[in-house]
Every structure is written in structure tokens, then in C-alpha cells.
A and B are shown apart, each in its own frame.
With several copies, the nearest count.
Chain A
Amino acid sequence: MLAKIFIKPKKGILDPQGKAVSGALARLGFNRIQDVRIGKYIEIKFDAGDTDTAQSDVRSMCETLLVNKVIEDFTFEIAEE
């Protein structure tokens, strides 16, 4: 299986990196940027019996290790490769 995990800063939480990149894009002439948020993209290849197990495995990986729930939100997708 292949899990694709998308992590981003929670709403309301300052994202200094996004802010800096937003400024840089504007200086480069992309001047209709409203907001930039930068997070992590994680791909995990793993074995799991079926999609349901895979779903619950990935959720628990996110919650225990991959995501800092105090400041980040996440979503994920699972494909059978």
C-alpha cells in the first residue's frame, strides 16, 4: 500500500515559513497570492492486509508520531499502488 499524508499548520497557528514564502512569491511578481501555508508531505509504503487496516494504521501513525496535533492538522489518502 502507499499512504500519502498531508500535514499542515492548524488554522490560527502562525506559519512563519508560509509567510516568508508568500513574501518571496510576491517579490517574484506573483502578486495575487492571498495565503501560503507550508507543511509536510509524507509517503509511506507498507504492507497491510486490507484497506481498512491500512486506514487505521496510518491514522495511528499520524497520531502517535508523524503529526504534532498541538499545532498541525492532517489528512491522508491510501492507494493500493
Chain B
Amino acid sequence: MPKIKAGVIVFPGTNCDRDTYYALKQTMGCEVDSVWYETKTLRKYQLIVIPGGFSYGDYLRAGALARFSPVMEALREYTEKKGLILGICNGFQILLEAMMLPGAMQRNDTLKFICKDVQVRVERNDTPFTLLYKKGDRIQIPIAHAQGNYYGSEQTLASLEKQNQIVFRYCDESGNTTEQSNPNGSLHNIAGLCNSETTILAMMPHPERASDSTLGNDEGRKIFLSIKKALS
């Protein structure tokens, strides 16, 4: 079986690209390229990851300036061919700004950057990104962002719920999606969304930081292993 080929997009200001690269290699054993933001085609990949960081310094709005990079054109073309896309943190913000997923990110309601472990509940396991989890699984995973407060209009939220596009929600230790367990004010405790075809997953928590037992937490590892299984 040929090795899976993955690309990790690097914008000016991206800073989780090396972490993500390492995690993909370690967990999926796939071939990984760093993909410079000026790249014009992504056809050779089966998985594209838009990693975390501060593309263009997060100036104006997180993700707003990255959205106009040449690679985003290539990404649109790539989605038409149903390639998988994983957007993590800044990647989520970029996908929203690019309108590849509905809604927008506001500043955390604490008005501060938050870096800590949170609990999220897996809402569905019929996506290529979550198939090794059980529905309702609770995983501990770090967040690190200043703008992760998801907003969608009422119609948007209704449609996300109806089409079952919410993949992860912030929850407490017992798996309940309470206000207390919501770190940033996200509506409906949204921590991760997919598109209706489930080829795109965007999430604020960082699975690449929870994929290695040396770091004390590998509960996010199954996201990469799920992708591997889905692509094999």
C-alpha cells in the first residue's frame, strides 16, 4: 500500500507547523510536506492540515489575512476532489474567514488568551477524523487561543445541529456540556465542526499536543489514527 501523503500549510506566522509535522509522522507514519503558502496546487495530497499559529500576526482578525493567500485557491480546488482537510486552531479561524465553514470566531469571553487542558465530547464518530472514538467519548486535550469563541447566527446554529456538523463540544469531567466547562463562550459549546460531507474538520483544541504519552496526554492521537484508517 502506498504511503499516505499529507501536507502541512505554512503561512507567514504559522507556528504549529513543525509540531503538526512531527505528530503526523509519529502517529500516522505518513509522508509529510511543509507546504508554503504560495503553493498553487495541492493535488498530490490526501490530507491537508492547516495548523495553529498566528498567520499574519492574527492582525485585523485571526485568519482574515491568510484567507487571501494563493494556497487558499488551491485548497478550494482540493476540496472539490474530496481531499481531507484538518484545520487546527488558527486553521479553524482561517477556514471560517474563508467561508469554507459557516460562522465566525470572536475574542474569548474572558478577553484573555487561554492555554490549558479542557474536556471535549465526541459528538459523532462517523467522520474520517473520529472513527476510532465512540460517540460520547470524553477526551482531555489542550486549547491555546485568544479567539476561539465561536459565533453563528441562529439559522447557522440550527442548521449545524440539524445536519449534525458539530463534532466536538466542550464539556465537564462527566461529559456534560455546561456553561462552566465552556472555556471561551462558544455558542452551543462548539469546539469542532465539520462540513456536511465530513471531509473538513476544524477544531480549536490541539490534537498534535495530545498525541504523545511523554507529554502526559495522548487522548488526541486517535484523530490522526482515524484519518490513517479512513485513508487506508
Contact = CB atoms under 8 A, between A and B. Distances in A.
Interface of A: 13-14, 16-17, 20-21, 24, 27-28, 38, 65-66, 68, 70-71
Contact of A17 (B59, B104, B152): B59
B60 A16 contact: no
Contacts of B107: 16-17
Interface string B91-129: 000000100000110111111000000000000000000
A70 B106 CA distance: 10
Given A17-B111, A20-B65, A24-B68, A71 B56 contact: no
Contact of A68 (B61, B108, B109, B152): B61
B95 to A, nearest CB: 13
B34 interface: no
B52 interface: no
B61 A20 contact: no
Given A21-B59, A38-B60, A68-B104, A16 B68 contact: no
A68 B149 contact: no
Nearest to B102: A70
A8 to B, nearest CB: 13
A70 B153 contact: yes
Interface of B: 56-57, 59-61, 64-65, 68, 97, 103-104, 106-111, 149, 151-153, 185
Contacts, number: 53
Given A20-B57, A68-B97, 7 more contacts: A13-B151, A16-B106, A17-B59, A20-B56, A20-B65, A38-B60, A66-B60
A20 B107 CA distance: 12
Which applies to chain B's interface (DSSP): helix, strand, loop or mixed? loop
A16 B149 contact: yes
A65 B67 CA distance: 9
A24 B65 contact: yes
Nearest to B106: A71
A21 B64 CA distance: 10
Contact of A20 (B103, B106, B111, B152): B111
Contacts of B64: 65, 68
Given A24-B68, A70-B103, A71-B104, A16 B185 contact: yes
24 contacts: A13-B106, A13-B151, A14-B106, A14-B109, A16-B106, A16-B110, A16-B185, A17-B60, A17-B107, A20-B56, A20-B57, A20-B59, A20-B65, A21-B59, A21-B65, A24-B56, A38-B60, A65-B60, A65-B68, A68-B61, A68-B97, A70-B103, A70-B152, A71-B104
B60 A27 contact: no
Contacts of A65: 60, 64-65, 68
Contacts of B104: 68, 70-71
Contacts of B106: 13-14, 16, 71
